[in-house]
Chain A
């Protein structure tokens, strides 16, 4: 909302206040000042001048050589304007002056004649669009003065960033009211008690739905002469960023800025039947052409202003081409109305049309001020456009609301604000901005917020008014008294932090992705039609397709992150994310929210590796399996002697569709699957545009938190030494090393302390179809030192068991 101090002065006395002081006060009252701009400062060097004589330029038809008086000097200036003549008072830019637009004036020769300056048009000075001739100052203006002083062009423009709850301040009078509040000076309004008491005999108004149009007032002004607005009016409009068009339109804009009441002027002779009907479109009315000459679609909810036959305006938004005021207009019907904010907003959105008028209607125009603004505009029409108004006018106020009556408790106000306030102080503050109060009892006031304060609905709103008028800076600061007690710890959150720290310390970086994602990820990850992860929550008004549904799992987001990093030449990545996946559960239930932990690994095993040491080791399936094992170990769910989780190769229908099938493991807690890890399939990587191998893991973190961790407990140190023996078996290639280990485990020899596979070998000299698996077994007794004979016995039994069970042969 822009206004100027010169304009503000019309309504309240600001003598002695600087622009800075006013800005500060307004900001502290909640009307934040965005900018303060002195106007016309760039015109400080311009001077007034009087043209003494003119003579046609010897070498150019359209130019005139002038002798121009500027104070004590008489200068030769060449001028191209058609209106230059002896005796004309105008404005001159002398050599050394810079005009707006960085245009430097120099002494020069124009077609052979000396020119010591330039006579200027309004457009060249940035005052308006007028460029048909040089600016004409009032007759008798002394030459040689400062132009801006002579014209009284000293002004400051202030722009306020209004909060949506204060539509009453979208007007200069609204701002003046706030200023008068803190200066405690009078508020002077040009028109404040206008009414339409009789009914027009010339035209009629019919409002079909008082919900959509609570109030509609109109008046007929005849014998209008369309022309340019007077300078003061054009200047004020320009100063606040509005373009002057003609006197009628300019007055409607001016009064809108003044009172915050949008007005519209119709050419009365283009209104059929002398009537106005405020209604919604008929079924056959599908489009309407607004005054910007664009044909727009309308629907059954678009509120229209119509005449006896057809629509003539989109209510609250924009007038129609068929009824707009033109140079030939003689009779104007002026509309001042109050429209339903929701309806105007919907229409404005649907048409993609946002205007100064719709801005105000959407936020709430004062239904009590309709006639004041209208009569103010009518007065200006008569004064400036020569209009006459014998017509009575019409005012249809069907949507009048009962008087807004609130109570305000003094004690409650003092409590909430933490300031000792008495009833008189409170009353004094409220009344300073027009909010009437009356005593109810010792502790309470009856308060009647005026109709322009659409934002005051209950006691809390009034307390806020008192707070900001008293001054937030004046409220003493104090720390609240709180009882300190140790809050209950959120154990899941603590676990998440531990896991995140752990992963960071083993070289991962934490990614955070939006919960909103693209539906196409489901296809990209090759999910089957009945996969529960296709059950996503859909947004009603997504901003883009990329954020149209809520994610059901984390992997797609991480794959997008991989792609992005590859684009920026970051090839060695270890990313993890802990976040929520949302699964829809039908229209009537909230979605299921599951905490998930996922990660991706790609590129070199060691980041930025030096080939001297690591020789191009790429991440592989064992890196990701090792990471997941380490996560569980860190959470004390996996360890020596206890396994709350295990890794299995599931049957093929339980292998994730986005994983390579022979590099995939499911993570099980008992018989519940709580996650998986694997190598992403080429097809999936291709659809993401990723050109290197990616390994992933994704786990149900809620399920992990449900698992009981194994408490630390002590095992006594072994007393007696161990004996280590190896064995190697030649087996068919399809036998898995894990099967060998399971067989050893189930053999249950008390002497076996531990065992591991330490080599798997295929190729020469071993025959095709066979491989060698080497196992190392550690034997130890709790009661004595083992002899070779003890160990031999057990070891041979194991070898026999294994060769019997798996075929193949013992390999020394």
Chain B
């Protein structure tokens, strides 16, 4: 579809949102916190 020959190229496509991984690691409960830039959040890291 975008010009790659499927016979030559194959692979995996997946989305790994790093926000979600960080949420798991640090126990963050709301994904919107990453974009609110609240000092009470930023200062914890």
Query: Are B35 and A565 touching (Cβ within 8 A)?
Result: no
**A459 surroundings in chain B (CB, below 8 A):** 6
Q: Is B29 an interface residue (CB 8 A)?
A: no
Question: Residue of A at shortest CB range from B43?
Answer: A509
Interface 1/0 per residue, B8-38 and A, CB below 8 Å: 0010000000000000000000000011111
Q: Is A512 an interface residue (CB 8 A)?
A: yes
Query: Are B40 and A511 touching (Cβ within 8 A)?
Result: no
Q: If the complex has contacts A416-B10, A460-B6, are A509 and B42 also in contact, measured as CB distance less than 8 A?
A: yes
**B37 surroundings in chain A (CB, below 8 A):** 509, 511-513, 561, 564-565, 575
Query: Are B39 and A573 touching (Cβ within 8 A)?
Result: yes
**B35 surroundings in chain A (CB, below 8 A):** 512-514
Bound together, the chains give a CA A510 to CA B37 distance in angstroms of: 8
**A415 surroundings in chain B (CB, below 8 A):** 10
Q: Is A83 an interface residue (CB 8 A)?
A: no
State which residues 531-577 of A face B: CB under 8 Å. 561, 564-565, 568, 570, 573, 575
Query: Are B39 and A565 touching (Cβ within 8 A)?
Result: yes
Query: Are B10 and A565 touching (Cβ within 8 A)?
Result: no
**B40 surroundings in chain A (CB, below 8 A):** 568, 570
State which residues 567-592 of A face B: CB under 8 Å. 568, 570, 573, 575
Tell me whether chain A's interface is mostly helix, strand or loop, or mixed. Answer: mixed
How many of chain B's residues have a CB under 8 angstroms from any CB in A? 12
**A575 surroundings in chain B (CB, below 8 A):** 37, 39, 42
Bound together, the chains give a CA A440 to CA B40 distance in angstroms of: 66
Bound together, the chains give a CA A512 to CA B22 distance in angstroms of: 15
**A511 surroundings in chain B (CB, below 8 A):** 37, 42
Bound together, the chains give a CA A561 to CA B7 distance in angstroms of: 49
Query: Are A565 and B34 touching (Cβ within 8 A)?
Result: no
**B34 surroundings in chain A (CB, below 8 A):** 512
Query: Are A570 and B39 touching (Cβ within 8 A)?
Result: yes
Bound together, the chains give a CA A565 to CA B38 distance in angstroms of: 6
Question: Residue of A at shortest CB range from B34?
Answer: A512
Nearest chain A CB to B31 CB, angstrom units: 12
Question: Residue of B at shortest CB range from A509?
Answer: B42
Bound together, the chains give a CA A552 to CA B34 distance in angstroms of: 21
Question: Residue of B at shortest CB range from A570?
Answer: B39
Question: Residue of A at shortest CB range from B45?
Answer: A509
Query: Are B38 and A568 touching (Cβ within 8 A)?
Result: yes
Query: Are A564 and B10 touching (Cβ within 8 A)?
Result: no
Q: Choose among B6, B36, B43 the residue that contacts A564 (Cβ–Cβ < 8 A).
A: B36
Query: Are B39 and A509 touching (Cβ within 8 A)?
Result: yes
Bound together, the chains give a CA A513 to CA B42 distance in angstroms of: 13
Bound together, the chains give a CA A575 to CA B42 distance in angstroms of: 10
Nearest chain B CB to A5 CB, angstrom units: 33
Binding site for B on A (CB under 8 A): 412, 415-416, 459-460, 509-514, 561, 564-565, 568, 570, 573, 575
Can you give 20 contacting A-B residue pairs, CB < 8 Å?
A: A412-B7, A415-B10, A509-B39, A509-B43, A510-B42, A513-B35, A514-B35, A561-B36, A561-B37, A564-B36, A564-B37, A564-B38, A565-B37, A565-B39, A568-B39, A568-B40, A570-B40, A575-B37, A575-B39, A575-B42
Beyond known contacts A570-B40, A573-B39: 9 more, CB 8 A cutoff: A509-B43, A510-B42, A512-B35, A513-B35, A513-B37, A514-B35, A564-B38, A565-B39, A568-B40
